[in-house]
Structure 1
Amino acid sequence: MDNLFHPSFGSRPDRIVGRDDAIEQFIEGIKREPGHRDRATLILGQRGTGKTALLLQLADEAKARGFVAARVTSGEDMLEEIIESIQLAGSEYISKKQTKIKGFSAGALGFSLGLTFSEEVRENYGFRTKLTLLCDRLAENGKGVILLVDEVQPNSDVMRTLSSTYQHLAGEGKNIAIVMAGLPHAVSDVLNDRVLTFLNRARKLHLSPLSLSDIIAYYSDAFRRGNRLITEDQIKRLTEATRGFPYLLQLIGYYVMELSAKGEALTDEGIESAIYAAQAELEADVFQPTLHELSRKDIDVLTTIARQGDGAVLVKDVLEDSQLTNSYFQQYRARLLASGVIASPRNGELVITVPYLAEYLRGTNK
């Protein structure tokens, strides 16, 4: 493959950069005994922070440790897709012969052949029973089950069914684990659902910006493997332009590879062109979807924060500029914090978390 970088949403990057601690934490969690709280993980991050890529990596880590993975996107057909995924992925570990188990045929235990359900189970039983049978059958063959759910959506009956089923099976000691990933406000709403409050005890991974030193190391290796001649100063310039944002890491790297030739030295003009092209894509891919989920007043307050400058700004300056009362402003501050668009690094300070969004808002809301 000529280009090592894959900036499309949902695609698998060449390598997962800067998430070693999160991956190791996950591995330690699934090593715990069935039912342990660390077997449930919630990944929170804005668009472009690498949630889907991390899910793919965690699926591979789990499979290497004896789990059958079902990776789905949250939606109305999610439960059926989970059952089908486990049957397909786990079938290779199950004997196709209809053997006797403790005096009963496999069919009597709910299966006809392999992981194919008997007609009675298929027609008369629901998600919880089917998942229980799959967990038990795979456990007999030394395998666990891991559920990986991307783009978590709140206020969903299927999400409630999935979560309550997991809670019951984990409580029964089934060899099962779950990872859910979503936007901060969506995961927050899920946690506030009265049916799903047990998920508050799950391990939470907040995807923060990547270390610039990790990006420098990755860029140096990737461009070497791509046979691009690039200086240390140019790599430093590219790295700084990412602002630690995984999606920008991929976008900028992609355009560097596309705008250069193998074996030729990169020019500074080419470096700047790659950065400009990557930044331009943020508007459609990240800024517009992010702002679409906010109210007009949310955006007005966010724009006021952006007007104070880049980096952390003082709440008192925002209040003075917006001319809002503190109590009224706090409502929108709470909404923007829940959405993950802003953070509060210290008391009395706010910062916009999405890279280049402040500049964008200042340019389009003059």
Structure 2
Amino acid sequence: MNNPFNPSFGKVPNIFLDRAHAVTKLSTELQNPNSPYQTTLIYGVRGVGKTSLLTDVGNKMSAKKNWLVVNLTTNYNVLQTLIDSICQKSSPEIKRLLDKIEGIKLSAFGIQFEYRLQELTETNYQILLENILDKLQAKNISLLVTIDEVDPTPEIKNFISLYQLLIRENYQISLIMTGLPNKLSELQNDDVLTFLLRSARMELSNLDLLSIKHSYQDTFAKKGITISDDVLIAMVKKTKGYAYSFQLLGYLLWEIADKKITLATLEQIQGEYLATLGRNVYYKVLQELSPVDHSFVIAMAKAPTQVVTTAYLQQKLDKPKNYLSMYRKRLLDAQVIKSPARGMLEFTLPYFKEYILENLKFYV
């Protein structure tokens, strides 16, 4: 058997726990023109499975004959890229219709814009896009645009403003964006993009621990590998329900396991497991935090216990309660920390405390 676990980014894993309902929900709601899910924001910390979910939904919608799916990135020339992609992905019948639009010409070499260089303005791109959507709508074809790990750049903000206009004009277009909570929040709170506050929101949180336990047990059993219950519990605890950790731990164990996984097997892969978490996720998570956020998480990491009281943090940081509450909320929203009980905080990500302590010299 090939290794069924997939700790790489972007691909839909063979074992995609606790996300089937979300994929079905989105795929179904997109076909209802009055659904709030026509515009959907998917948010969560890095490695929680946003891209995989987006890819899965996109694949399912692409398989429907009356849907066209275009995946955009946060870059320059968003409108041009969107128009290019629509033309490239259209059926031969639709391409013949698009070829009749003034301003574009389709050939064996792809799309060519017939405007002179100085005429290729955002307004002209908008007119071309509207003409294209008219042709698609005449054939009852809906367009789904996806943007993964969105950044609130001026280019993206301009595109989302245009998207709002297209919705008001009753074009059959939908938009799904994934991103970190703070970046999506910045988009929603932009003065001209407040309509995003009324869009559907999907928070991807940690996986169900019991689902992880059963998945590990059943998947390794197919390879003839046995795992005792105490070892299974230790494996689940190592992941803390974090989707990337679930895939990574399973992948590493699959590569070395023979007939049985023991506590010694877990210890054998521990170094690589922690190093990969740090290199692929945690370095970037810390890099994106503000200096005050750094102070907050460092104080949490230095605490003698995994669960830290807000009173302890207030004392260590020597800051007023309202100041502490603001940054506590920021980190809760970013899913870096969670509150298991009133007045208590702990890190959401497995071994994040240990990673901070080990790399403390780089963050102080």
Instruction: Classify the TM-score, shorter chain.
Output: 0.7 to 0.9
Of residues 39-48 and 59-68 in structure 1, the stretch that sits farther from structure 2 once superposed is 59-68
Counterpart in the other structure of 1:297: 292
In 2: Cα distance, 1:350 partner to 1:265 partner: 36
1:79-228 matched pairs, under 5 angstroms: 79-90=79-90, 92=91, 94-95=93-94, 97=96, 107=100, 112=105, 119-120=114-115, 124=120, 126-154=124-152, 156-225=153-222, 227-228=223-224
How far does residue 255 in structure 1 lie from its aligned partner after superposition?
0.6
SS at match of 2:283: helix
Q: Is the 8 A contact 1:94 1:138 kept in 2?
A: no
In 1: Cα distance, 2:102 partner to 2:137 partner: 14
In 2: Cα distance, 1:121 partner to 1:220 partner: 62
Counterpart in the other structure of 1:54: 53
Structure 2 letter corresponding to 1:149: I
Which of 225, 231, 253 is matched with 2:227 structurally? 231
Counterpart in the other structure of 1:251: 248
Of residues 52-61 and 131-140 in structure 1, the stretch that sits farther from structure 2 once superposed is 131-140
Q: Structure 1 length normalisation: TM-score?
A: 0.85
How far does residue 355 in structure 1 lie from its aligned partner after superposition?
2.3
| CA separation of 1:174 and 1:361: change in aligned 2, threshold 3 A | same
Q: Is the 8 A contact 1:46 1:183 kept in 2?
A: yes
In 2: Cα distance, 1:75 partner to 1:267 partner: 47
In 1: Cα distance, 2:88 partner to 2:219 partner: 35
Q: Is the 8 A contact 1:94 1:141 kept in 2?
A: no
Aligned: 1:285 with 2:276: no
SS at match of 1:41: strand
In 1: Cα distance, 2:69 partner to 2:101 partner: 26
In 2: Cα distance, 1:61 partner to 1:339 partner: 29
SS at match of 1:94: helix
SS at match of 1:174: coil
Q: Is the 8 A contact 1:310 1:358 kept in 2?
A: no
Q: Is the 8 A contact 2:137 2:172 kept in 1?
A: yes
Q: State the Cα deviation string for residues 220-267 of structure 1 (Å, max 9, x = none).
A: 343345x24122524443223211111111111111122135xx4444
Q: Is the 8 A contact 1:228 1:260 kept in 2?
A: no
Q: Is the 8 A contact 1:79 1:162 kept in 2?
A: yes
Q: State the Cα deviation string for residues 4-37 of structure 1 (Å, max 9, x = none).
A: 2221223332232111232233123202116x43
Counterpart in the other structure of 2:43: 44
Structure 2 letter corresponding to 1:9: F
How far does residue 112 in structure 1 lie from its aligned partner after superposition?
4.9
In 2: Cα distance, 1:160 partner to 1:117 partner: 26
In 2: Cα distance, 1:285 partner to 1:294 partner: 16
Structure 1 letter corresponding to 2:86: I
In 1: Cα distance, 2:327 partner to 2:101 partner: 58
| Percent of residue pairs bearing the same amino acid type | 30
In 2: Cα distance, 1:42 partner to 1:30 partner: 13
How far does residue 109 in structure 1 lie from its aligned partner after superposition?
6.3
In 2: Cα distance, 1:37 partner to 1:176 partner: 13
Counterpart in the other structure of 1:320: 315
| CA separation of 1:217 and 1:129: change in aligned 2, threshold 3 A | farther
Structure 1 letter corresponding to 2:336: V
Aligned: 1:357 with 2:352: yes
Paired positions, count:
354
In 2: Cα distance, 1:121 partner to 1:136 partner: 24
In 2: Cα distance, 1:31 partner to 1:250 partner: 31
Counterpart in the other structure of 2:19: 19
Q: Is the 8 A contact 1:17 1:214 kept in 2?
A: yes
Structure 2 letter corresponding to 1:107: K
How far does residue 327 in structure 1 lie from its aligned partner after superposition?
3.3
| CA separation of 1:108 and 1:188: change in aligned 2, threshold 3 A | closer
What are the ranges of 5 or more consecutive residues in structure 1 without an aligned counterpart? 99-104
Q: RMSD of the TM alignment (CA)?
A: 2.9
| CA separation of 1:28 and 1:12: change in aligned 2, threshold 3 A | closer
SS at match of 2:140: coil
Q: Is the 8 A contact 1:185 1:340 kept in 2?
A: no
Q: Structure 2 length normalisation: TM-score?
A: 0.85
Q: Is the 8 A contact 1:93 1:141 kept in 2?
A: no
What are the ranges of 5 or more consecutive residues in structure 2 without an aligned counterpart? none
